[in-house]
Each structure stands twice: as C-alpha cells, then as structure tokens.
Amino acid sequence: MPVLNGDVCYEVWTARQPISYSTQNEIASASSDEVLFGTLQVQETQRANLDSLVFAAYTKLFDFVDHSGYGNLLRIWHYLPQITEDADGLERYQRFTAGRHEAFMAKRGGVGHPPAACALGSRGGPLSIYFITTRGRAGIPLENPRQMSAYRYPQQYGPRSPTFSRANLASFTGEQLLFISGTASIVGHRSMHLGDAAAQTRETIANIRALFVQTSEAGFQPAHDGLRLKVYVRHAEHLSVVGDIVSESLGPLTQVVYLQADICRPELLVEIEGVCRAAS
C-alpha cells in the first residue's frame, strides 16, 4: 500500500515487559507475559477457493492462540489483494468473509464477541493477517448506535456477514487501549454519499465520534494526544480534501498516516481505523 503522506512508514508496538519471539506453524509472533502480536501470510494458489484458504488460516490462528495461552483476540488486520474483484460469482471480500465466519463457528461456536478488525485491498502479495491477543482479561467489544452490527448485515452483502466488532476496549500492561475497527461512511448498513470523498470522510468521523460516546459510558476517557489513525484513501487525488477534513475534525495532536488502498465495498472511498490510549 503506497504511503501518501511520506516516503516510508513503520508501525512499531512497544511493551514494558521483556519480549520473546517465535515462529510456529507459519505464524510469527512477539510476546510479553501478557500480550502477543502475531502475523500469518497466506499464499493463494486458487482464487476461487479463497473462502477455504481463509477458513484454514483462521483455524490455524485459533489453534495457535489457544495452545499458546493467549486466547483473547483483541484486534485483527487483514490485507487482501484485489479485494473487490470477482471470484467465481462472489466478490473476493465476500469469500473472505464466508471463510472467516465458518472458522468462528467451528472454533468458537459462533460469532460471540468478535475482535475489532479491518480488511483492506492491497496491490499484491499474499493475504496478510496481523493480530493482537492477550492471555489476560478479554476486551470489551463495542458497537456503534449509528450502524448495524456488521455480523448482522443482510445477505445483500454476501452469504455470510463480516465477523468483527466496531471497536474493542482492552486493559493490559497497566493501561487501557481502544482498538477502532475499520470505519467508513456507513449508516445502518448502507453506504452513504456515493462519489463524494469529502462527505464520506465527515460521515466516517461522525461514526468514530459515536464510538467515543460509547466508550465514555464504559469509563474510557481518551488522552488528548492518544489517538493514532490509519486513513485508507481509494484514490490518491482525494488525499488533500480527506486530509484537511481529518485535521480540522480531530486536531493537530492526532497522529495520522495516509495509505492508498481499496476498500471492501467498491463505492466507498475512505476508511479509517486506529488505536487510542486512555488518559492517565
């Protein structure tokens, strides 16, 4: 994914505790006593069979975290090449969603309380899955009153609904973190402001603000400088207008990286996700 507001960008997660590293069953991980960050790369051989590949990958992921003792998934990132292209009659994202749903049913007995997540379209390479999980207290999944829960979407969006929460409030290493799922210009279950990148950005920010209202009711107060965002822009020429709105709406203390990526619905032009640290 090209970085639109800089030449090179690295995302670094730090911990106060000693870190150990391992690679097991194709999953590479770094872990402290409390938290594990892992990654799994899925090489595709038959695109029409993407749902089966995703099911196998998630089965491997669930087995790994359960065996390692870090069984509480907090946040998952997915980067999927050609995310909205056709794959034997369904969009690739719909096949991805079907495989993920079936893995939750098989390994977790249902949707339950899914982690925060996002799925973006990359330019190439394998399906890349990154995740944060903990052996301590499970996170608190949060939904957005402006939006239908993704796992309850009607079948017009695919045979299986997306399995994720709108946000996840986690407590570990002595602090709280709010993981914000990929958020777009969706109200209820419908995409809004077709063809208008500025209006979609404002609607997306309204959805994120609604999440913060939910978190305040759960006792979470964001730090003034604690918000870190990734803003995915479908078309690079929209960077200026999107960036201006984000800056005006969220202020100069919010750290933002802008990436060019495809969104999971062809009509969506912007998606925003991130993490926020609680006030100390």
Rounded CA separation 98/117 (Å): 15
For a pLDDT cut of 70, what percent of the chain falls above it? 99
In sequence order, the β-bridge partners of residue 186 are: 191
The superfamily in CATH containing domain 20-278 is RutC-like (3.30.1330.40)
Q: Residue 250 is encoded by which pair of tokens?
A: 């969220």
Residue 47 has pLDDT above 60, yes or no: no
Which residue bears the tokens 């409030």?
A: 169
- pLDDT higher at 279 or 203: 203
Predicted confidence at residue 113, as pLDDT, reads: 83
The pTM of this model reads 0.95
Rounded CA separation 179/139 (Å): 10
Which residues are tagged catalytic?
Answer: 271
| 87 contacts 98 by C-beta, under 8 angstroms | no
Predicted confidence at residue 138, as pLDDT, reads: 85
Predicted confidence at residue 110, as pLDDT, reads: 85
Question: What's the mean pLDDT in 140-155?
Answer: 94
Residue 48 has pLDDT above 70, yes or no: no
Residue 119: band (very low, low, confident or very high) from pLDDT cuts 50, 70, 90: very high
Which residue bears the tokens 């803003």?
A: 231
Rounded CA separation 206/185 (Å): 9
Rounded CA separation 53/51 (Å): 5
Residue 256: band (very low, low, confident or very high) from pLDDT cuts 50, 70, 90: very high
Residue 6: band (very low, low, confident or very high) from pLDDT cuts 50, 70, 90: confident
Q: Residue 244 is encoded by which pair of tokens?
A: 């201006």
Buried/exposed 59-89: b ≥16 CB within 10 Å, e otherwise: ebbbebbeebebebbbbbbbbbbbbbeebee
Mean pLDDT rounded to a whole number for the chain? 93
Least confident of 52-56, 214-218, 236-240: 214-218
Question: For 166-224, how does the pLDDT look when each residue is reduced to its tens digit (9 = 90+)?
Answer: 999 998 777 899 999 999 999 999 999 999 999 999 999 999 999 999 888 878 888 98
Least Cα distance to 256 among 222, 233, 279 occurs for: 233
Question: For 59-115, how does the pLDDT look when each residue is reduced to its tens digit (9 = 90+)?
Answer: 999 999 999 999 999 999 999 999 999 888 899 999 999 999 999 999 998 887 899
Question: What's the mean pLDDT in 35-55?
Answer: 87
Q: Residue 25 is encoded by which pair of tokens?
A: 């069953």
